[in-house]
Structure 1
Amino acid sequence: MASSEAHLMLSVGLIEKDANGDTLWVWCYPSVTAEVRQILLSKCCLTQDGRELHSFVFGQFRRTWYYITTVEIQEPTALKKVTHFSLVVTTKDFNPEKYAALSRVLCRLYNKHGSPVKMMESYISVLTKGICQSDENGSFLNKNYDVRLAYLAGSLKDVVAQFGMESIILYTALMLKKRIVVHHPRIEALLEFTRALPAFTWHRKDWSILYPYLHLTEVELDDLRQCPGYVAGFTNPEVGNRADLFDVYVNLPDSTITVSPDAKEALAMGKVHKDIGQLMVQSAEDAERTDAQVIKDISTKTKEILASLMSLAAESENSKITVEGLKKHHFPPATENFLFHLAAAERLLRI
C-alpha cells in the first residue's frame, strides 16, 4: 500500500445542482462530519446563487485541506437532470496542483458513467498504489507532484512587484508570526496572492498558516483564531472593519497595506528593513530572475539574520536571548525591536 497516500487523503465527495436549481450533497467516501460538510457546501460555488462558476477552489478548516472542482455538464452525459456538479477532495496536505489533477480525472469518470463507482475505484487506486490510469479519461501519478513545487507555485515576484518597498511589511509580519488578512472580491485572485505569502519565510516551509478562502462566520473565525499567526483571505470587504482579526490588512484591489495600531510597535521599520526591502525589490524587478530565484534571494538574507540571532543566543545563558543581552550590542532602536520580536517568534527569547 502507498502508505503516504493512505495517510494524506481523507475523503472524496460529490455535490450536485439539478435542473430545478437545488444543490445537494449526494455522496461521500468514506465520510465527513456534518460540520465539515456544511463548510464545504458554503465554499462550493453551486450553493451561491447568481455567482460565477469557480472551476477550482481550495482552503483549510480544522487542519483539513479541501479542494473543490466544479464542472458544468456538457451533453452527452450519463448524468440526467444534473446541470453542474462539484467534486470535493479532503486531505491532510497542501498541494493544489496535485489534487486539481486528480480531480480532473475523477470528474471525467463521473461525467461519463453517471455513477460514483468507477470514480471511487480510481480514488482507491491512488490511495493504495499512488496511481490511476485510463487511456480515455486521463491518468494520475502521485509521485509527479512534489510538495516543494506546490510551495513554489505562488508568485512572490508578483507580490513584490505589486507592493514594492511596502512588501517589507508583509515579510516582517510573517517573520514575526503576525496575523495578515487579505481582501479581494475575486476568489481566484485571492487564492493566487495568499498562497505566495508563506514563501517569504521559506526557512519554515509552513503553509499550515494559510487560510486562503474564509467567510465571516463564527465557526470559521474560531478555527482561524487557533493559529497564532496566519495569512487569511476573504472576499467580503467587511473584513476590513474587523480589526480584531488582523495585525496587517491587505486590500488587494487598491494595492494598500494597513498596519493595525496594536502592531505598529512590533512592525516599526528601520535600516535593516530598508536593506531587505531594497534587496526584494531589486530581485523582483530583474526580468532574468525566476520566482524561485527571488525566493532564494530573500531566503539567503533571512538566513543571515537568523544566523546573527543564533549567535546572540549562543552568548547568553541557556542559549536564550534577553532584553539586557540585546541592549549590550547598542543596536539602532528599530533593529533591536525587530530582533527582540523575532527571537520571540523563533522561541529564542528568555523573559
Structure 2
Amino acid sequence: MTTLVDISLEDSISIFEKDLNSDVLLTWCFPSINDQLRQVLLNKTSLEKEKISLNFSFSKYKNTWIYIHTTSIDHSSGTIPESLKRVAAFSICITRNHFNPEKYSSLASILSNVYLALGDCSKLLECQLRVINRGQFDVGALGKFVDSSFDVRRSYLATSIKDVIRLFGEEIILIWSAMAMKKRVVVYSEKLISLLKVIRALPLFVFHRQNWNILRPYVSINDLEIKDLQSTGIYCAGFVDPSIKSRDDLYDILIDLSSKEVSISSYSKDQFVLGSFHKDLLRFMLESLDNDEVSDQALIKGLNMKMKELLSKLESLKEDDGKITLESLESRKLPNGMSTFLFNIANAEGLNG
C-alpha cells in the first residue's frame, strides 16, 4: 500500500545526466519542477561545460535553495550499473526552502553513492520519502542520513568571521557598512569553492538579523537569473563570471576575492562616507584578529553590541512623530556623511515604521 505524504513543491530531488556523447538531460525528478527551475538547475550543474565542476555547490533561485552534488563515472571500474553504462557524469540536485549546506551536502553525497552503485531512481525516491516521513534513512555501506544531526546554527558559523576580516583588512569596514545599510553586494571569485566559503559568512556582520535568505551564493549571468536577482532588491550575490565586474548597475559594492579588493559603484559612493563610528568599529574588528581570547562568537557578539548602541543613538534622534528623516538629521549638523549613514541604518532597521 502506498503512503500518501504532503510534499512541498520546494522539496524535490532531480538527476541530470551527461552521456558519453556530451548530451545533457534531466532523467528523473520527484516531484515535478517548472521549466524555469529546471533551467537554473541545469546551469548550476556545469554538466554542459567542457570542464565539469565536481565540487558541492549551493545557490538560491526565488525562494528555493539549491544543493548540487556532481559525480564523474569511472567506466574502468567494471562495477557500473547497466543503466549508467552510457553516462559520463551525473548531478544530484536537491531543492529545499531553507539554508543548511552541511545537511544537504551530506544528503546529496549519500544519494550520489546510492545512484552510482544501483543506478535505480526508485531507491532515491525511497530515501526521499524516508527523509520526509522519518527524518532519516540508512543504506548500509553507502551511508546513513539523520536529519536531526544537522543544527542550522553550526551552518551559520561554518566560515570564520575572523578569517573574512583578515582577508580584507581595513576594507572590511566597507563590507560591514554595506551589510548594515542593506546595500546590494556582489562577490566575485575565480573559484566557486572560495566564493561559497566567503559569501555565506557575510550575514555574520549583521547577525542580529539572522537573515541568510538575502544570499544568492552562486548566480549565473543569464536573463532568467539576473531578472530574479534584480527583483529581490537587496542581496549578497556571488559570481564566478568576471564580466560581473563591469555590471555596476547590479551592485553597490563589489567584493573581488581574487584581488582581495572592495570597489564601490559610482552610483553609491556618497553612501559610503566613513566617520568616527566606522573608524572605531574597524579598530575593534582589526584588534580582535591579534587577540586569541576573542573567538568568532565573541566578535559577533561585540558587533551586535556596537549595533545596539548605534540604534539607541538613532532612537534619541527621532522626531516627535517617531520618524527619522534625512532632513532632520542634517539639521543637527552631524559630521560629514553621518546623516546619510544614519538615515540608511534607520531604514534598514525599520525605525521609520
Give, as a single letter, the amino acid of the residue that structure 2 aligns with 1:144.
S
* 1:60 alignment counterpart: 60
The reply to whether residue 108 of structure 1 matches residue 113 of structure 2 is yes
Is the contact made by 2:56 and 2:105 (CA closer than 8 Å) also made in structure 1? Answer: yes
The TM-score normalised by the length of structure 1 is: 0.92
Q: Which runs of 5+ in 1 are unaligned?
A: none
Q: Per the alignment, in what secondary structure is the counterpart of residue 249 of structure 1?
A: strand
**More off after superposition, 33-42 vs 69-78:** 69-78
The TM-score normalised by the length of structure 2 is: 0.91
Cα separation, 2, equivalents of 1:149 and 1:320: 38
Give, as a single letter, the amino acid of the residue that structure 2 aligns with 1:55.
N
The Cα shift of 1:6 comes to 5.1
More helix by percentage: 1
Is the contact made by 1:9 and 1:127 (CA closer than 8 Å) also made in structure 2? Answer: no
**More off after superposition, 192-201 vs 303-312:** 303-312
The aligned runs of 1:84-103 (5 Å cut-off) are 84-103=89-108
Give, as a single letter, the amino acid of the residue that structure 2 aligns with 1:282.
E
Is the contact made by 1:283 and 1:297 (CA closer than 8 Å) also made in structure 2? Answer: no
* 1:213 alignment counterpart: 218
Cα separation, 2, equivalents of 1:144 and 1:329: 53
Is the contact made by 1:23 and 1:47 (CA closer than 8 Å) also made in structure 2? Answer: yes
* 1:333 alignment counterpart: 336
Identity over aligned residues, as a percent? 37
* 2:172 alignment counterpart: 167
Distance change in 2, residues 1:317/1:129 (3 Å) = farther
**More off after superposition, 304-313 vs 141-150:** 304-313
Cα separation, 1, equivalents of 2:219 and 2:115: 28
Cα separation, 2, equivalents of 1:156 and 1:280: 10
* 1:29 alignment counterpart: 30
Q: Which of 199, 203, 207 is the aligned partner of 1:198?
A: 203
Give, as a single letter, the amino acid of the residue that structure 2 aligns with 1:312.
L
Residues 122-161 of structure 1, C-alpha deviations (whole Å, 9 max, x = no match): 1111111211123322211111212222211123211110
The aligned runs of 1:125-136 (5 Å cut-off) are 125-136=130-141
The reply to whether residue 17 of structure 1 matches residue 22 of structure 2 is no
* 2:3 alignment counterpart: none
**More off after superposition, 331-340 vs 103-112:** 331-340
Instruction: Give aligned pairs, total.
Output: 343
Deviation beyond 4 Å, 4+ runs, structure 1: 5-9, 327-330
The reply to whether residue 253 of structure 1 matches residue 258 of structure 2 is yes
Residues 203-234 of structure 1, C-alpha deviations (whole Å, 9 max, x = no match): 11111111111122121111011122211111
Is the contact made by 2:55 and 2:193 (CA closer than 8 Å) also made in structure 1? Answer: no
The reply to whether residue 178 of structure 1 matches residue 183 of structure 2 is yes
Cα separation, 1, equivalents of 2:175 and 2:220: 22
Residues 241-274 of structure 1, C-alpha deviations (whole Å, 9 max, x = no match): 1111111011211111111122111111011000
The Cα shift of 1:18 comes to 1.9
Q: CA RMSD in A?
A: 2.0
Is the contact made by 1:69 and 1:88 (CA closer than 8 Å) also made in structure 2? Answer: yes
Residues 17-60 of structure 1, C-alpha deviations (whole Å, 9 max, x = no match): 222222211000011111111111111122111x2423211101
Cα separation, 2, equivalents of 1:224 and 1:311: 36
